[in-house]
Structure 1
Amino acid sequence: MVKYIETFQEYISKESLSGIILFIATFLAVVVANSSLAEAYTALWHMPLGVTFGGSTISMDLTHWIDDGLMALFFLMVGLEIKRELICGELSSVQKASFPVVAALGGMIVPALIYVAFNRDAPLGFGIPMATDIAFALGILMLLGKKVNPAIKLFLVALAVVDDLGAVLVVATVYTSEIHTIYFIHAFVIYALIWLLNIKGVTKLWPYLILGLFLWIFIHKIGIHATVAGVLLAFAVPIKSKIDEKRFVLNAALALDTFKSHSTTDDILSHHQIDALENIAHGYDSVQNPLVKLEHNLHNISAFLIMPLFAFSNAGVAIEFSSFFEHITIVLGVVFGLIIGKPIGIFTFTFFATKFGIVKKPDDIAWSDVIAVGFLGGIGFTMSIFITHLAFLDQSLIDAVKLGVFMASFIAALIGVALIVMNNKRASV
C-alpha cells in the first residue's frame, strides 16, 4: 500500500509540473500567433512530411504528425494508466470504482447534452466539452499546496482516468474519416500477434512496440483515428513480471554476497564481480512489471515533450472575435458545457446515485469538494482542443472554439480554486 501511495504521489508531482509547462507552452503559442511571427508559425505546422514503408506511404503535415503520431504515444500511456487502475488501482473493485465512474459519466453526458441543446442541427462537436485536462487540473491543485485534501486529488485522478476512457471511445466511434474495411484484416492480424505475445508470456517490450507501430499504420489506413492504436496496444501489454519479488530479492542477495566475497584491492572489478552485477541487472530487468515500466518511461516523454509540443502547435490562435461571434452557438455549447455541464453532471449523478444507494461517497470527501472537483473537470484545454481538430475542418471555426475552450477552462479553474480554498477555510474553523 505504501508503494502504491509513493507511486501515486510521484504521478501527481509529474502531472502537476506538466500542467505548468503546458501553460507556458500555450502562452508562448498565443503570443507567437499574435506577433509578426504568425505567418512563419502557421507555415511551420503545415509543412508536409512523408514516410514510406515498402510500397506504402503516409504523408501528413507536421501538425497531423503530432496529433496522429506523437499523440498515439500519449494515448498509449493513457491506456496503460486505465489498465493499471482497473487491475490494481482506484478502479480495481466495484466499491472503489463506482463513485468516480458515476462522476465521470455525469461529467461527460451532461456537457454533451448542453452542447447538443445549443447545436441541434450540428451536434458533431459534442465531444469537445466532455474532455478533462488532468495535467492542468492537477497543476492547479499543486499550486494550492497543503490546502488541498489528498482525497480530492485521488478522486480527480480516478475521475479523469474514466473520462479519458470515454474520450477514447468517442474518438474511435465518432471522429473517423472514410472507413477502408480492407485494412481491418491487416490490423486484426497484427493485434492478434500482439496478444499472442502476451499469452506466451513475452515480457520484453520491444516486440510489442514494433508490432504496435504496424498496428498504428493499419489503424490510420482504416480511417479510424490512429491514436486508438495506442490504447489497443496498451491493453495487450502484459502486467505480470518474469520473476516475483521474493525470487529477485534472493537472487540479488546472492549476487551481492558474490560481489563482496570477490572484492580485491585492484582498481578494476574481477570477473566474478562483473558476473554478479550482470545477474543483478538481469534480475532488475526481469522483476519489472512491463506495463508499469512502459508507463513510467512514457510518462516523462508525454508530460515534458508530447503534450507541451501539442499545446505549442495547436494552441496558437489569433485573438480576434469576428469568427467567435460568427460561430457563437457552437462556442456557447462548448463554454456552457465545460463551465456548467461538468460540475452539474459530476455532482448530480453522484448525489442521486448515493441517495439511491447505487454508490457510496468516500467519507473523506464532502459534497462541497465534489462540486469543486466538478469545476476543475471543466478545464478541458488540450483534450478539448484535440477533439476540436477532429470534429471540424473550418479553420475559423476551430479558432473560435479554441477561444471558447480557453475562456471556459480559465473560468472553471478560477471557480474550482475559489471553492477549494473556501472549503479548506470552512473545514479548519
Structure 2
Amino acid sequence: MAQTKLPLRSVFAPVRALFVSDASAGVLLILVAAAAMLAANSELASEYSLLFNGKLGWTPIPKLDTLHYWINDGLMAIFFFVVGLEVKREIICGQLSSPEQRRLPILAAIAGMLAPAAVYVFIVGPDSELTRGWAIPAATDIAFAMGVLGLLGSRVPASLRLFLLTVAIVDDIGAVMVIAAFYTANIKMAWLVASIVVVGVMMAMNRMHVSRIFPYILVALVLWFCVLNSGVHATIAGVVAALTVPMHRKDGNSLLEKIEHGLAPWSAYAIVPIFGFANAGVNLSGIGMDKMLDPLPLAVAAGLVFGKQLGIFTIIVLAAKVGFAKPPKGASWAEIWGVSVLCGIGFTMSLFIGELAFTGSNEAARLLRDEAKIGILAGSVISAVLGFVILRLTTEHPNDRSAEPDPA
C-alpha cells in the first residue's frame, strides 16, 4: 500500500499546488476570467449582459441602477479598503517602513507605471482620443502575479517574492492616486466638503483610541455615500477610510490588522472574482484579428508585456549600477527579469481603470471598453506565461542552489 501512495501523491501534487498558498487566488481569477469569456460568447451571452447591465427593478441609491454599478462602485470599495489597510500596515511596520526598504520598490513601481503609459501613448498617438486610457497598462494585479509565482513553489528566492509584493503594493498606491486625479467626474463641492468632514470624524475616532470595529464601519459607509455623490470615484472612500483605522495595539492586537485579516480572504476569494466575472466578459462576435490589432488593444497589450518589464528591469539595473539601491538579495539578473515580466499581469486594476477611461452607454464607448479588455487579457496572459517560463528555466531548487553573490 505504501508503494501506491507515493506515485499518486506525485501525480496529484501539481494539481494540489494550484489551490494552496500564493497560487489559489490567482488561479481562481484565471478560472473566473475564462468563465466570463465563455458566458459572453455562448448562448448565455444575452443573459450575461442583462444580469450585470440590465436596470434593477429597485435600488436604494438611484445612481447605482445596475448590478454592474453596485459591483464597481460599491463592492470594489471594500477591495480598495483592504488595499488601504495593507498599505498603511506596510508603511508603519512592514516592508515600506524604512527609506532603505522603500527605495527600490518605489523606483520600480514608478518606472513600471511610466514606461507602459509611454508605450501606450506612442502606439495610439499623443493626439488621439484614446490617450484617456493611458493608465490602463500601468497597473499590476497582485493576486495574479503572486499566483503565478506561487506555482513555482520554493524555487524562487524569498527576496524576489517580497520584492514583487512590495512593488505591487506601491503600484496600487499609484493607481489609486491616478484614479483620484485623472478619472473623476465633475466635482460637487457640497458633497466633497461633507466627505472631508466625515474623514475628520474618523481621524478624531483614531485620536480618541476608539477600538471597536462597528463605529469605523458605520462612518466608512457614510463616507462612501458622500464620495459617491461628490464626483470623485466612490472607491477612493475605501482607501481614505482605511488610512484612518488605528494601527496602535491594545492587548497585543491591532484593530487595523484584525479588520485586514477578516476582510482579506473575502476580498481575494469573493469580491475580486465577482468583479472579474462581471467585467472580463467580452463578446468577440464581429471582432476579428483586424480589430484585435487596432491601436487600443495593441497599445494596452504592448504596454503590459513590454512597457512593464522595460521600466522595472531597467530602473533596477540603473539603481544597482549607481549604488542607489541594492537588487533583491540572492537573485540572479535572469530571475529579476522574470519577475519584472510578471509585473505585466494587469487584470483587476487594469479592468477597473478601463471602465473609468471609456465611460458612456453608446455602442462606441462599449466597443472601446471591450477592446481595452481584449488588450488587458492578452497582455496579462502573455506576461504570465512568459514570466513563468523565464523563472522556471532560470531558477533552481533551493537544495541545488549554491551560494551566489548578489547580482550587483
- State the TM-score, normalizing by the size of structure 2: 0.87
Say whether the 8 Å CA contact 2:82–2:260 is kept in structure 1: yes
Q: Which residue of 2 aligns with 1:6?
A: none
Map of 2:350 onto structure 1: 384
- Contact 1:385–1:402, Cα closer than 8 Å, also in 2: yes
Match of 2:258 in 1: 293
Q: Deviations over 1:332-371 (max 9, x none)?
A: 2111110000001001112112222222223222222221
Structure 1's 151 and 323: CA in aligned 2 closer, same or farther, altered over 3 A? same
> Relative to 1, partners in 2 of residues 1:326 and 1:343: Cα closer, same or farther, differing over 3 Å?
closer
Question: What corresponds to 2:115 in structure 1?
Answer: 110
**1:113 CA displacement:** 1.0
Unaligned runs of at least 5 residues, structure 2:
1-18, 360-364, 403-408
Aligned length: 372
Structure 2 letter corresponding to 1:315 = A
Q: How far 1:228 sits from its partner (Å)? A: 0.3
Residue pair 1:203, 1:290 contacting (<8 A) in 2 also: yes
2:229 corresponds to which of 198, 221, 228: 221
Q: Distance in 2 between the 1:87 and 1:416 partners?
A: 31
- AA aligned opposite 1:34: N
SS at match of 1:352: helix
Corresponding position: 1:303 with 2:268:
yes
Asked if the contact 2:159–2:329 (Cα under 8 Å) also holds between the matched residues in 1, the reply is no
Structure 1 residue 73: deviation in Å?
A: 0.1
CA contact (8 A) 1:75 1:231 kept: yes
CA distance in 1, matches of 2:292, 2:93: 48
Aligned CA distance change for structure 1 residues 383 and 65 (closer, same or farther; 3 Å): same
Matching of residue 23 in structure 1 with residue 35 in structure 2: no
> How far, CA to CA, are the matches of 2:289 and 2:240 in structure 1?
37
Residue of structure 1 aligned with 2:80, choices 59, 75, 89: 75
Identity %: 40
Distance 1:60 1:192 in 2: 30
What corresponds to 1:274 in structure 2?
none
Amino acid at match of 1:61: T
Tell me the residue number matched to 2:294. 328
2-structure distance, mates of 1:45, 1:327? 28
Distance 1:184 1:225 in 2: 11
Question: Shift in Å at residue 327 of structure 1?
Answer: 7.5
> Which residue does the alignment assign to 1:145?
153
- Alignment correspondent of 2:165: 157
Distance in structure 2 (CA, Å) of the matches to 1:185 and 1:345: 38
**Structure index of larger Rg:** 1
CA contact (8 A) 1:324 1:331 kept: no
CA positional deviation for 1:38: 0.4
Q: Could you tell me which amino acid in structure 1 is paired with residue 38 of structure 2?
A: V
Q: Does 1:46 align with 2:64?
A: no
- Native 8 Å contact 2:296 2:375 kept in 1: no
Please list, as runs of the form range in 1=range in 2, the aligned pairs for 1:289-368 lying within 5 A after superposition.
289-320=254-285, 321-322=287-288, 325=291, 328-368=294-334
Distance 1:104 1:154 in 2: 14
For residue 196 of structure 1, the aligned residue among 191, 204, 210 is 204
Contact 1:346 1:370 in 2 (8 A): no
**Conserved in 1, the CA contact under 8 Å of 2:113 and 2:308?**
yes
SS at match of 1:60: coil
Taking a change above 3 Å as real, the CA distance of residues 317 and 326 of structure 1, as seen in their structure-2 partners, is closer
**Aligned mate of 1:413, from 372, 384, 394:** 384
| Residues 91 and 158, structure 1, Cα contact 8 Å, conserved in 2 | yes
Deviation larger for 22-31 or 319-328: 319-328
Partners of 1:323 and 1:395 in 2: how far apart?
18
Q: Is the 8 A contact 1:323 1:397 kept in 2?
A: no
Name the aligned partner's letter for residue 231 of structure 1: V
Residue 146 of structure 1, CA deviation: 2.3
Deviation of 1:91 after TM superposition, in Å, equals 0.6
Alignment deviations for residues 297-329 of structure 1 (CA, whole Å, 9 cap, x no partner): 111110111011111111111124249628811
Deviation per CA, 1:198-237: give whole Å up to 9, x if none: 0011111111111110111111111111000000001100
For the 8 Å contact 1:80–1:234, the answer to whether it is kept is: yes
- TM-score under structure 1 length normalisation: 0.83
Cα RMSD, aligned residues only: 1.9
Q: Distance in 1 between matches of 2:92 and 2:55?
A: 41
Question: Is the partner of 1:132 in helix, strand or coil?
Answer: coil
Q: 1:422 aligns with which of 393, 398, 403?
A: 393
Structure 2 residue 82 is the aligned partner of structure 1 residue 64: no
Asked if structure 1 preserves the Cα contact closer than 8 Å seen for 2:28 and 2:273, the reply is: yes
C-alpha contact 1:239 1:289 (8 A) present in aligned 2: yes
CA contact (8 A) 2:292 2:298 kept: no
Per the TM alignment, residue 425 of structure 1 is displaced from its structure 2 partner at its CA by: 4.4
214-223 vs 349-358, which moves further: 349-358
Provide Cα deviations, 1:6-31, integer angstroms capped at 9, x if missing partner. Answer: xxxxxx96653111111111111111
Kindly state the Cα deviation for residue 51 of structure 1 after the two structures are TM-superposed.
4.2
- Work out whether residues 77 and 234 of structure 2, in 8 Å CA contact, stay in contact via their aligned partners in 1: yes
